[in-house]
Amino acid sequence: MFLRIDRLQVEMPLPKEPDPVAAAAVQELMGGRFGEMTTLNTYMFQSFNFRQREKLRPFYALIANIATEELGHIELVGAAVNGLLNGIQPKGDMSKGEPSFAGMFTGAALKAHVAPGPHAGIMCADSLGNPWKGDYIFNSGNLILDLLHNFFLENGARTAKLRAYQLTTNPAARRMLGYLFTRGGVHAHAYALALEQLTGVDMKKMLPIPNLQPEQIPESRPFLEEGWHRRLYRFSTNDYDEIKSIWQGQALDNSGPLEVRDGPPEGGPQYDLDGSSEAFIPDYHPQEILEMAQKLYNKAKG
């Protein structure tokens, strides 16, 4: 089962201005072939279908625990896209027949965000609006093959994030990417260590893929300095302590020992985003909904 905490995994300042083009680039990290939906569901279904859990407990715990962290990653990408779309002002009055959002969205941003409405936010799709596919999930049942695929998947996801990084200079988008670069590096390292225990092959010698050191990315440096690349968080109150038998040794940059931290990171607050009556969010006459919500709130208080 899962316990949901109403915070983001990392503090994310709200973008100062809307940036639909950056939002479209980040959208790829949700529903693209190497997006967070793919990593989440690959690890989740592998954990569902894992056989001999008790005999192979450390490896099951690793996959299940990383799957839980990925839930927070899709939440973070969703927040980033919504933040990048926040504050878009209509340029026309629909009651006068004017096109409220004409000319605001072009190319990928148009395809990815206008179908549900420009303020509807994140979708389970790639940057072109193509729906995420369940057949992106890989689960063979063979432990070594699944771990090898997960190692490949994390590095493919890093490549996709680097390409998204190259498409935008937006500081909010890049902060989110800096965090995900760091955490994805942790996951790739963890799967490499698991494969080394099973096979004796030192997969971590291949890292990083692509061969761009984490410290070469400016937005990753604050997270590296704080030691995020050395930490594997245990997303459970009582379970998955067995990951400590895999996540041990030195960091790849020799900056210190690897550590398992109990519980999720402190994180940061969720965004409280603007509504837009012209986009019918939460409705064309939002004051009516707000009044009803206030009545329910007062009633609950007694």
The string of DSSP letters for 51-70 reads -STTTTHHHHHHHHHHHHHH
Which CATH number covers residue 249? 1.20.1260.10
- Dist. CA 98–CA 281, nearest whole Å: 18
Query: Is 2 within the bounds of a domain?
Result: no
Residue 104 and residue 20 in contact, taking contact as beta carbons nearer than 8 Å: yes
> Is the pLDDT confidence value at 258 over 70?
yes
Number of domains in the chain: 1
Phi-psi region of 249 (alpha: psi -120 to 50; beta: other; left: phi over 0): left
Instruction: Provide mean pLDDT across the span 211-233.
Output: 97
For residue 20, the SS3 value is helix
In a domain, residue 284? The reply is: no
Whether residue 110 lies inside any domain: the answer is: yes
Q: Report the pLDDT averaged over residues 143-157.
A: 98
Non-local (6+) Cβ contacts of 225 within 8 A are none
Report the pLDDT value the prediction gives residue 113, as an integer from 0 to 100: 47
Note whether residue 163 is domain-resident.
yes
Asked if residue 254 belongs to a domain, the reply is yes
The reported pTM is: 0.89
Mean pLDDT (the chain) is 90
| Residue 256 in this model has a pLDDT that exceeds 80 | yes
Residue type for position 257 = P
Residue 44: inside a domain = yes
Q: For 202-219, how does the pLDDT look when each residue is reduced to its tens digit (9 = 90+)?
A: 999 999 999 999 999 999
Overall average pLDDT of the 67-71 stretch: 98
Name the residue among 285, 275, 271, 289 with its Cα closest to residue 90: 275
Q: Which residue's structure tokens are 């400590």?
A: 244
pLDDT at 186: 98
Q: What is the pLDDT of residue 291?
A: 79
Q: How far apart are the first and last CA of the chain?
A: 32
Cα gap 153→159, rounded to integer Å? 10
Domain, as residue range, for 197: 7-271
